[in-house]
Structure 1
């Protein structure tokens, strides 16, 4: 990547500004009635707020960078994303069910990939005012505090987060049982309901690891960059590198027990 030709600071500032404005918009919309629709099932929700927030973010990005591509969960931007050197991957509200029921534990996720490399990741939790962000080669931050995973963790000491138990594909190939066995080997398991926020928590050391059978690019695009810039490790469950614009399994963790976690999950894992 030719950094001198890519306006990384301007893109970073725009990503941060969009995430914060989108988060504030979501908080405002929580004060008034909004419609809720099913996508594929009663547990797969989309609200009018998701669509409005994504529309705002897309329009703001294209106003400043009209030649950039955008891949968004709600498909607000219909432009072909394959012919763009720079691709924004956005989830306007990651954790819509939490947004609807709890009004917390949801986030705005914005990632920027240039020539296939993740360069900027932003995950904003508007309910807590916490901005997790990272720039490739520049480190990861929570608001203004640098994030570094320096604590040594053993598998038996780890606090993990997973969505595997509710994944039908995981049940079909037995990964759910493997993770249930894993639950007996670690200190504890959690499920927050927002993959982007869960990945950000790994970067911040609030969780030691995260495992998911299948995520969309907008679920992991930003969190992946933040974890890696905090010196964490992110791969597929099988240990191979993540794609950046395709669905994938995801394993993210403190690097000191990555091999332990990988070996446990790989034992019976059959890659698609």
Structure 2
């Protein structure tokens, strides 16, 4: 892909993310409808849907032949028909948006022929923009991100939601991570996977682990970590798909082998739990 085209995609993705972030901030203090998807902890708001539609309209105005995969499923076409696909999470961390009004993000990724080309994650509440182009590095606003610090298990700050994940409980993985919590420096949870992956790229977290994420959760963050020099795979060590659910391990490169080794060595009886979905 020509560098000029990649820059154009990045510029549009940033414009979309900032426009979406602005809209979310405007709607935050206005009355809006909150609904459940699958449970009381799985929320969607009218703002999610409005923000996604805004981004879709902006993309299709410039690239009518591109496909779009969005969390709220508002794209009317079939994204598999397009070589270039945009993957959107209009508000990643909707529960945080509703309750805290911080720790949520807009995530936009561009994939060409199944390969990550552009990743943008925007935190409207802090005006922090994480972005990357394949082969051109990752940035937080104008600062280049490079993961050069050596990290050992006992020094690591990790992020995971596996402590109360129902599938993790089913296979006993929650117990493994509770034990891991006693071996690392500390555990954190922000509630926005895209933001948590971006924090790994920025060195604010040393690793992030999830048993199952959707492509709009990890599509942009994956590339941002990789372009910062980090590692991102499934829990089984496989490359992440761009259009399917998957477990995710995102990590400082010096810590990846130790973390993945710990996970794999303690899950030999739970192989079915970490198979790529």
> Normalising by the residue count of structure 2, what TM-score does the alignment of the two structures yield?
0.96
Paired residue for 1:81? 79
Matching residue within 246, 249, 256 for 1:248:
246
Paired residue for 1:204? 202
Paired residue for 1:70? 68
Can you give the 5+ residue segments of structure 2 that lack an aligned partner in the other structure?
none
TM-aligned CA deviation for residue 5 of structure 1: 8.8
TM-aligned CA deviation for residue 166 of structure 1: 2.2
2: CA distance between counterparts of 1:195 and 1:78?
Answer: 26
Can you give the 5+ residue segments of structure 1 that lack an aligned partner in the other structure?
none
**Structure 1 residue 144 corresponds to structure 2 residue 125:** no
Matching residue within 106, 109, 118 for 2:107:
109
- After TM superposition, list the pairs within 5 Å mapping 1:1-272 onto structure 2: 3-4=1-2, 7-267=5-265, 268=267, 269-270=270-271, 271-272=274-275
2: CA distance between counterparts of 1:83 and 1:45?
Answer: 30
What secondary structure is seen at the aligned counterpart in 2 of 1:146?
strand
TM-aligned CA deviation for residue 168 of structure 1: 1.3
Size of the aligned set, in residue pairs, is 270
Q: Say if 1:184 and 1:135 are closer, same or farther in 2 by CA, change over 3 A.
A: same
Range with bigger deviation, 163-172 or 145-154: 163-172
2: CA distance between counterparts of 1:125 and 1:109?
Answer: 9
1: CA distance between counterparts of 2:157 and 2:225?
Answer: 16
2: CA distance between counterparts of 1:48 and 1:55?
Answer: 11
What secondary structure is seen at the aligned counterpart in 2 of 1:202?
helix
1: CA distance between counterparts of 2:263 and 2:39?
Answer: 29
Range with bigger deviation, 7-16 or 131-140: 7-16
What secondary structure is seen at the aligned counterpart in 1 of 2:81?
coil
**4+ runs deviating over 3 angstroms:** none
2: CA distance between counterparts of 1:210 and 1:142?
Answer: 18
What secondary structure is seen at the aligned counterpart in 1 of 2:80?
coil
> Normalising by the residue count of structure 1, what TM-score does the alignment of the two structures yield?
0.97
User: Per-residue displacement from partner, 1:38-73 (whole Å, max 9, x unpaired)?
Assistant: 000000000000000000000110000000000000
2: CA distance between counterparts of 1:248 and 1:60?
Answer: 28
What secondary structure is seen at the aligned counterpart in 2 of 1:41?
coil
